[in-house]
A and B are shown apart, each in its own frame.
Chain A
Amino acid sequence: DSGVTQTPKHLITATGQRVTLRCSPRSGDLSVYWYQQSLDQGLQFLIQYYNGEERAKGNILERFSAQQFPDLHSELNLSSLELGDSALYFCASSDSLLTSNTEAFFGQGTRLTVV
């Protein structure tokens, strides 16, 4: 158990809908990262928050947004869902920014299926 909790584990929804994925980082970790893993693809970085502030953005669609709350949990909001958004969404956390030996711990992921 990495200590990073993601809910829900599975989500099935229809095209055009909006969903919210939740991530609770390890106790004490200030940094949260979101990744998307489509079938047979590598993890793609979406966005990073550090202590409530957005620090880096990757290939995140405009239909997607995220935030980190004062209690350090984070939510990833996906709207106007398309079939191609079906993927595993992972959250990771670290105690600081990713310097040389900073460990990043991953949650078990949320499997999103858009039908």
Chain B
Amino acid sequence: KNQVEQSPQSLIILEGKNCTLQCNYTVSPFSNLRWYKQDTGRGPVSLTIMTFSENTKSNGRYTATLDADTKQSSLHITASQLSDSASYICVASGAGSYQLTFGKGTKLSVIP
């Protein structure tokens, strides 16, 4: 069964600090790994998409890494801002599949 596990479930950090969110997936055969940002009550917004051959991808202050051998990914946020407060969702897609498998997300709170 395809699964995506994220840790931690929630995280509180001070404005300006960095943080790293973790994702483990068991999707096989694997195609790509996505990170989304979801504000409360809103639709997810894509941050990065990485194929199995990519190790890292950046989008502004967001940097995602992927290790397809260990089936792990991380999302690093630098110099956090109050507007970064949201849920960050890791999503894996299987090769030849039209379906995305979503993790439950990490709820990030950035406080002044």
Looking at A14-22, A38-46, A63-71, A79-87, the stretch in contact with chain B turns out to be A38-46
Q: Is A26 an interface residue (CB 8 A)?
A: no
Q: Which of B44, B49, B101, B105 has the largest number of chain A CB atoms within 10 A?
A: B44
> Is the CB–CB distance between A56 and B51 below 8 Å?
no
Q: Is the interface of B mostly helix, strand, loop or mixed?
A: strand
Closest to B107 in A: A40
Q: Is B112 an interface residue (CB 8 A)?
A: no
Interface residues of B in 33-78 (CB under 8 A from A): 41-46, 49, 51
Alpha-carbon distance between A48 and B99 when the two chains are bound, in angstroms: 8
- Which of chain A's residues have a CB closer than 8 A to the CB of B46? 103-105
B residues near A (Cβ < 8 Å) are 4, 31-32, 41-46, 49, 51, 89, 93, 97-105
